C-alpha cells in the first residue's frame, strides 16, 4: 500500500504536489464548510452563511440594466452578432486596443483623475491571481523573497509563491497603531530575511488593504517608495479594491505618489489591478499588470499568453467602461451602497459590544473578538472560530489565516449577500454574543457564590476558634488538624 502511494506521488510534479498552495488553512476550510451546507432562506435556513468570500454583489442591477440597454456590446445578441467574426478570431497578446484604452481610463478615474495611465502599458492576465503570479515570475527567482505587511490576504500564499518558488516574509503590523505599516517594521522584516539568507527582491502591498479595509495614507506610501529605492528592490501595489472606497480618506494610487517624488526609480514600481472587486465581476477573469519598467512590461506581455482575457469579454467591457455616464453613476452608487451595508453591519455589532477596526474601503471589515477568547492565543482563536462556523453557522475568517501577529481578529465580508441574509447573520451573531455573555455572567456568579460561601465558612470557624482558644493553638490541637 505504501509502495503504491509513493509510486503515485512520483508520477506527479513537485510543483503540483508541494504544500505551498496555502489551501490547508481555516480560510479555505470555511469555504468548504459553506459548500457542504450553504444557507438558503427557505430550502436550508440553518445552513452556513458565507461571510468569508469577498464578492461585490451590491450593484449587479446597474450592470444588468446597462447590458439590457446596450445589446450591441455583446457578440451573442442579434444586435451584436455581426461583430462575431472580428472578435472570435485570434487576437495578439496586447489585447484589443479599445479594451486597453478603456481599462487605462477607468483606472485613472478610480484614482480621481490624478494620473493618466498609458494604455500601452496595460498587460492582461486571468484575474488578479494570474496578474500577481505573472509579476512575481518577472521580478524574482525561486528562493528569493518578498516582504508582505501582515495581516495579509491568505490567497497570496498561492498567488505569489506556490508555483514561483518564492518566499514570503511577513512585516508584522500591530493593532496599537491600527496596523499601520511603519518603517521600523519594514526594516525589521528586511533584516530578518537577511539573517535567514533570503535575497529580498521587493515588497508587495494591498491598497486598500485586504483584510483591514483601510487605505494607505500618502506619507506611508512615500515611505514605502523611499524604502524600496534605498534598498534597490521592487514595490508591487495590488490595487484591486481601489474603487471600493466609501468614506474618507480617498484612495491614492502609487502612480500618483511617485509623480511628486524626486529621485524615484520608476523601474521599481509596479501595479496589479482587476475588475473582480470594483465591478463585482470575478467570473470575467480580468486582471491587469501595469509596470513603469519597460523590460518588465515586455516580459509580462510574453507571459500573458498563459492567461489572456477572452476577446468576447474584452469587447463587452471596452464598450461598458467607455460609457462615461454609466461609469460615473456606477462608482457613485457603489460607494453609497457599500457605505450603507458597512454601517448596518458594524452598528449592529456595536449593539452587543463588538467593535471593528475603523475602515473606509473594501468588501469586509476587521472584527475584534478578543474579548470572547477563552485564552489569548491562536489556539483560543481557532476554538472560537470553530464554534462560530459549526454552531453559529457563520463563515468568518480568523486572523491566523491572514498571518496576523495578534489572535482574536476576524475578517467579515459584507457585500456578497442580500439584505435579508444580513439580518439573519446579524441575529445569529448577536444571539451568540449575548449567550456567551450570559454564560460568563452565570459562571462568574457561581464563582462568586462559592468564594463567598468559603469566606463565610472560614470566617465563622476562625471566629469560633478565637473564642475557644484565645491563646496560640498547640500544634497537637484537633483544631489545627481540622484546618489542615
Predicted pLDDT at 94: 87
Where, residue-wise, is CATH 3.40.640.10 in the chain? Answer: 73-323
Instruction: List the single range of 113-117, 151-155, 447-451 with lowest mean pLDDT.
Output: 447-451
Q: What's the rounded mean pLDDT across residues 350-367? A: 95
Residue 31 has a CB neighbour count (10 Å cut-off) of 17
Whether residue 156 has a cis bond before it, omega within 30° of 0: no
Residue % of the chain over a pLDDT of 70 = 89
* Contact between residue 100 and residue 118 where contact means Cβ atoms under 8 Å apart: no
Instruction: Please write the tens of the pLDDT for every residue from 283-296.
Output: 999 999 999 999 99
240 is catalytic: yes
Predicted pLDDT at 438: 77
**Catalytic: which of 29, 144, 159, 238?**
238
* Residue 442: pLDDT band with limits 50, 70, 90: low
Q: What's the rounded mean pLDDT across residues 65-74? A: 94
pLDDT at 34 > cutoff 70? yes
pLDDT at 467 > cutoff 70? no
* Residue 3: pLDDT band with limits 50, 70, 90: low
141 is catalytic: no
Instruction: Please write the tens of the pLDDT for every residue from 89-124.
Output: 877 778 899 999 999 999 999 999 999 999 999 999
Where, residue-wise, is CATH 3.90.1150.10 in the chain? Answer: 26-60+329-436
* Residue 1: pLDDT band with limits 50, 70, 90: low
Predicted pLDDT at 415: 97
324 is catalytic: no
* Contact between residue 124 and residue 95 where contact means Cβ atoms under 8 Å apart: yes
* Residue 86: pLDDT band with limits 50, 70, 90: confident
Q: Residue 362 and residue 208: Cα distance in Å, rounded?
A: 7
The listed CATH number (3.40.470.10, 3.40.50.11540, 3.40.30.10, 3.40.640.10) that belongs to domain 73-323: 3.40.640.10
The listed CATH number (1.10.10.10, 3.90.1150.10, 3.20.20.20, 2.40.30.10) that belongs to domain 26-60+329-436: 3.90.1150.10
Predicted pLDDT at 395: 97
pLDDT at 475 > cutoff 70? no
**Catalytic: which of 103, 181, 203, 240?**
240
Predicted pLDDT at 447: 56
pLDDT at 466 > cutoff 60? no
153 is catalytic: yes
Q: What's the rounded mean pLDDT across residues 127-146? A: 95
Predicted pLDDT at 11: 87
Predicted pLDDT at 4: 57
**pLDDT, mean over the chain:** 88
Predicted pLDDT at 459: 41
Predicted pLDDT at 198: 97
Q: Residue 148 and residue 132: Cα distance in Å, rounded?
A: 13
Cell representation of residue 30: 470555511
* Contact between residue 154 and residue 27 where contact means Cβ atoms under 8 Å apart: yes
Q: What's the rounded mean pLDDT across residues 324-342? A: 97
* Residue 469: pLDDT band with limits 50, 70, 90: very low
Whether residue 306 has a cis bond before it, omega within 30° of 0: no
Predicted pLDDT at 449: 56
**Catalytic: which of 152, 153, 241, 273?**
153
Instruction: Please write the tens of the pLDDT for every residue from 405-414.
Output: 999 999 999 9
Instruction: Please write the tens of the pLDDT for every residue from 363-373.
Output: 999 999 999 99
pLDDT at 456 > cutoff 50? no
Predicted pLDDT at 79: 86
**Catalytic: which of 152, 277, 315, 429?**
277
Q: Residues 241, 247, 253, 259: what is their CA dihedral angle, to the nearest 10 degrees?
A: 170
Predicted pLDDT at 359: 97
Predicted pLDDT at 471: 36
How many residues would you count in the chain? 484
Amino acid at each position: 500500500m505504501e509502495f503504491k502511494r509513493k509510486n503515485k506521488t512520483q508520477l506527479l510534479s513537485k510543483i503540483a504536489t508541494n504544500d505551498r498552495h496555502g489551501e490547508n488553512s481555516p480560510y479555505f476550510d470555511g469555504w468548504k464548510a459553506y459548500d457542504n451546507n450553504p444557507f438558503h432562506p427557505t430550502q436550508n435556513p440553518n445552513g452556513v452563511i458565507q461571510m468569508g468570500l469577498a464578492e461585490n454583489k451590491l450593484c449587479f442591477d446597474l450592470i444588468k440594466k446597462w447590458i439590457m440597454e446596450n445589446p450591441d456590446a455583446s457578440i451573442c445578441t442579434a444586435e451584436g452578432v455581426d461583430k462575431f467574426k472580428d472578435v472570435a478570431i485570434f487576437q495578439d497578446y496586447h489585447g484589443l486596443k479599445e479594451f486597453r484604452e478603456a481599462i487605462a481610463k477607468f483606472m485613472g478615474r478610480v484614482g480621481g483623475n490624478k494620473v493618466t495611465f498609458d494604455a500601452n502599458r496595460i498587460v492582461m492576465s486571468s484575474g488578479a491571481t494570474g496578474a500577481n503570479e505573472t509579476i512575481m515570475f518577472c521580478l524574482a527567482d525561486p528562493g528569493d523573497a518578498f516582504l508582505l505587511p501582515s495581516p495579509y490576504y491568505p490567497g497570496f500564499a498561492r498567488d505569489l509563491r506556490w508555483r514561483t518558488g518564492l518566499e514570503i516574509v511577513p512585516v508584522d503590523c500591530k493593532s496599537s497603531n491600527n496596523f499601520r505599516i511603519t518603517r521600523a517594521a519594514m526594516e525589521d522584516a528586511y533584516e530578518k530575511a537577511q539573517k535567514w539568507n533570503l535575497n529580498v527582491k521587493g515588497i508587495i502591498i494591498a491598497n486598500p488593504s485586504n483584510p483591514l479595509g483601510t487605505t494607505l495614507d500618502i506619507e506611508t506610501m512615500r515611505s514605502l517608495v523611499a524604502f524600496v529605492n534605498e534598498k534597490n528592490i521592487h514595490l508591487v501595489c495590488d490595487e484591486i479594491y481601489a474603487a471600493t472606497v466609501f468614506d474618507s480618506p480617498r484612495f491614492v494610487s502609487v502612480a500618483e505618489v511617485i509623480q511628486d517624488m524626486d529621485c524615484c526609480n520608476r523601474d521599481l514600481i509596479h501595479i496589479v489591478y482587476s475588475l473582480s472587486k470594483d465591478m463585482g465581476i470575478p467570473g470575467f477573469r480580468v486582471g491587469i499588470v501595469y509596470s513603469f519598467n519597460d523590460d518588465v512590461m515586455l516580459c509580462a506581455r510574453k507571459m500573458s499568453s498563459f492567461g489572456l482575457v477572452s476577446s468576447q469579454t474584452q469587447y463587452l467591457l471596452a464598450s461598458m467602461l467607455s460609457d462615461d455616464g454609466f461609469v460615473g453613476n456606477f462608482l457613485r452608487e457603489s460607494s453609497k451602497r457599500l457605505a450603507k451595508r458597512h454601517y448596518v453591519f458594524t452598528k449592529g455589532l456595536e449593539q452587543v459590544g463588538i467593535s471593528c477596526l475603523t475602515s473606509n474601503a473594501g468588501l469586509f471589515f476587521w472584527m475584534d473578538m478578543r474579548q470572547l477568547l477563552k485564552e489569548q492565543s491562536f489556539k483560543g482563536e481557532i476554538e472560537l472560530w470553530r464554534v462560530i462556523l459549526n454552531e453559529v453557522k457563520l463563515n468568518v475568517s480568523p486572523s491566523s489565516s491572514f498571518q496576523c501577529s495578534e489572535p482574536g481578529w476576524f475578517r467579515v465580508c459584507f457585500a456578497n449577500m442580500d439584505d435579508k441574509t444580513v439580518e439573519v447573520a446579524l441575529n445569529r451573531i448577536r444571539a451568540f454574543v449575548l449567550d456567551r455573555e450570559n454564560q460568563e455572567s452565570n459562571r462568574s456568579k457561581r464563582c462568586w457564590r462559592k468564594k463567598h460561601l468559603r469566606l463565610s465558612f472560614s470566617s465563622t470557624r476562625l471566629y469560633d476558634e478565637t473564642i475557644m482558644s484565645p491563646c496560640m493553638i498547640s500544634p497537637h490541637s484537633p483544631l489545627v488538624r481540622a484546618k489542615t
